[in-house]
Amino acid sequence: YEPVFDSSTSVLYLNHLILYECQGLSPDLEQLSRERGQPCFRLQPMHCNTVVANWARGSDGFTFPPEAGYPLESHQATYYMLETHYNYPDYTYDFSPFYRKNLSKQQRNMGIKSREPQPAEDSDPLAVSASTEHGEDGEQDDGDDSIAMEQQMVDNSGLKLYYTHKLRQHDAGVLSVGLDPNWRHIIPPRQEKVVSQGHCIGACTQHAFPRDGINIFAVMSRTHLIGRQVTLRQMRGNAELPPIMRDTNIDPSYQDYRRLTVPTRVLPGDSLVAECIYDSSSRKSITLGGMTTREEICLILTLYYPRQRELTSCHSLPSLPTVLHSLGIEELAS
């Protein structure tokens, strides 16, 4: 699959796209299919939590290896949900190489033309009509209140999927490992190194994985602006095996699936640990976990085969008492 950008403006504002598979024939799914969409940070339908395809800034898309492919089974998945994240392009990072590369590629392959608006020199940045930088209540996140909402952008970007009638040997799946994006994930300010870990415990893999295990053949690490290093660790019994992946130079402008030289087998009962290292030395206040760019995440998406249907995401979350204790809070007012 590969991204399809609606215009030059789309390339500048898009952060990532996630296509979910929705299971079952729930009346709720039929109702949702008739809607025009909603903010991503409202409660996500529990039926739509299986990742099919994921694009992030810097990626050209992904091609599956000859031995595996993702099954698009019409008799099992009737509905799909596309989640689109936009950001205002105000980073200190230089995204211009990515912008030029992807725009020129799409213009060549898809024949699109730039429809980028030409605002006055003294006008505010464009306001994005989709759910950009929203909190859990759907309201705009605390940022520059002066951003004008009069100008809006209509975007029809998405993903182009390629399929074949010649089936591969193995059905592939996506497993997300890491910390659940939540405010309980707290990163203190002015620290050059802060380590966070998300655990997929052995009891979960013991229950979900087939007897011969799964084979991970590609990984995508995801943090936001202060992420610096990501490692996916594998534990078996009392021993730690070599890391499945390690990226010591995280770049928010390049988050792509990376093929492993040799697939790594993970057996039932193995534990997986997503470890993220952050540099918060430039932050004046704490950084909370969450899906907006001002917040942070620690997630690793793995592509593997053979596909199992018991476990699509395996995340951990600091307990509330632990978080309160770390903040010096002994008791909450009732």
DSSP assignment of 294-329 equals TSB-EEEEEEEES--SS-SEEEE---HHHHHHHTT-
Domain ranges within the chain, ordered by starting residue: 1-170, 172-334
Sign of CA pseudo-dihedral 237, 240, 246, 248? positive
Contacts of 180 (CB under 8 A, 6+ apart): 198, 289, 315, 316, 317
Farthest CA pair distance, the chain: 63
Dihedral-angle region of residue 179 (phi above 0 means left; psi in -120 to 50 means alpha; beta otherwise): beta
Q: Which two tokens stand for residue 251?
A: 């770049």
Helices of type H across the chain:
8-13, 27-33, 96-110, 202-208, 320-326
d(CA 133, CA 141): 6
Identify the CA nearest to 266 among candidates 139, 136, 132, 173.
Answer: 173
* pLDDT at residue 204, rounded to an integer: 98
Cis, peptide link before residue 66, omega less than 30° from 0: no
Rg (CA), the chain: 21
* pLDDT at residue 175, rounded to an integer: 97
Mean pLDDT, 10 residues at a time, over the chain (334 residues)? 88 88 79 80 70 91 95 76 81 49 50 41 31 35 40 84 92 96 94 97 98 98 95 97 96 90 98 98 95 92 96 92 81 72
Residues in the chain: 334
Contacts of 55 (CB under 8 A, 6+ apart): 1, 2, 3, 16, 17, 18, 61, 159
Architecture field, domain 172-334: Sandwich (2.60)
Q: Which two tokens stand for residue 37?
A: 């969409």
Taking CA atoms, 140 is separated from 11, 64, 129, 283, 292, in Å, by 22, 37, 11, 21, 10
Q: Please, what is the Cα angle at 59 between 300 and 69, to 5 degrees?
A: 70
d(CA 234, CA 216): 12
d(CA 68, CA 304): 9
* pLDDT at residue 197, rounded to an integer: 97
Residue tagged 């010649």 (tokens)? 166
d(CA 280, CA 186): 11
Residue 287's CB: how many other CB atoms inside 10 A? 20
d(CA 100, CA 136): 33
Can you name the residues that pair with 50 across neighbouring β-strands?
21
* pLDDT at residue 123, rounded to an integer: 31
- The DSSP element (H or E) to which 241 belongs, if any, is strand 239-247
d(CA 164, CA 162): 7
CB 265 within 8 A of CB 213: yes
134 three-class SS: strand
